[in-house]
Chains A and B, each alone.
Chain A
Amino acid sequence: DVKVTQSSRYLVKRTGEKVFLECVQDMDHENMFWYRQDPGLGLRLIYFSYDVKMKEKGDIPEGYSVSREKKERFSLILESASTNQTSMYLCASSTTGVYTEAFFGQGTRLTVV
């Protein structure tokens, strides 16, 4: 079974802190994604990566950066956390090709106080 693991289920951080969310997948997938999920808005793409050291902005990249130094690991960085970044963050991975599934991590519920 494909496993996508996010480093934390719940996080509470203070405004202005630098926050790292880590995601690791074990199936050698090329593509990895970071989404945030908010009530009524669904999943919105923050960044995705289609290869090591490659990244593309999604729909809402402002206030976030990412890092992909190894194929299995994709990190989301909040440079200076703000209260409007309180959300559920979901990582996903997939192989390349339009007929492939996305596999999701369990999510990280981040609260910024």
Chain B
Amino acid sequence: KNEVEQSPQNLTAQEGEFITINCSYSVGISALHWLQQHPGGGIVSLFMLSSGKKKHGRLIATINIQEKHSSLHITASHPRDSAVYICAVRFTGNQFYFGTGTSLTVIP
């Protein structure tokens, strides 16, 4: 059983729409990461959160530790935002645990 659940699995949006991707995890964590993977494979880190909210450009990530839930929001979405977004957590130790990813397509 995957201890990190993401939703939705697939998402199609029109350019300009506000997008939300959700991540839930089962036990207490030390930190949560949002990652982006473009076609071709490479993964880059967008955010690392242990509490509250972070913003970078049109991307906003929030985390609610009590509810074991995080959201990634994209404002004014653009076709170049099309990618797979992956939630990852660290409980203790050095390992990461990953959600299965949300495939986002933004249509012009």
CA distance A100 to B95 in the complex (A): 11
CA distance A43 to B89 in the complex (A): 12
From known contacts A99-B48, A102-B88, infer whether A40 and B95 are also in contact, taking CB-CB under 8 Å. Answer: no
| Interface size, chain B (Cβ < 8 Å) | 25
CA distance A98 to B42 in the complex (A): 22
Q: Is the CB of B96 within 8 A of A33?
A: yes
CA distance A48 to B101 in the complex (A): 21
Residues in B with CB closer than 8 Å to A45 are 95-96
Q: Is the CB of B101 within 8 A of A99?
A: no
Q: Which of B40, B92, B101 contacts A42 (CB 8 A)?
A: B101
A69 at the interface (CB under 8 A from B): no
- Stretch from A14-22, A60-68, A70-78, A88-96 forming part of the interface with B: A88-96
Residue of A nearest to B47 (CB): A101
Complex A-B, nearest 9 residue pairs according to Cβ-Cβ distance, in ascending order? A107-B41, A98-B30, A42-B100, A104-B43, A43-B98, A106-B42, A101-B45, A42-B98, A98-B90
Q: Can you list 9 pairs linking A and B with CB atoms under 8 Å apart?
A: A33-B96, A35-B98, A42-B98, A90-B41, A92-B43, A98-B90, A99-B30, A102-B45, A102-B88
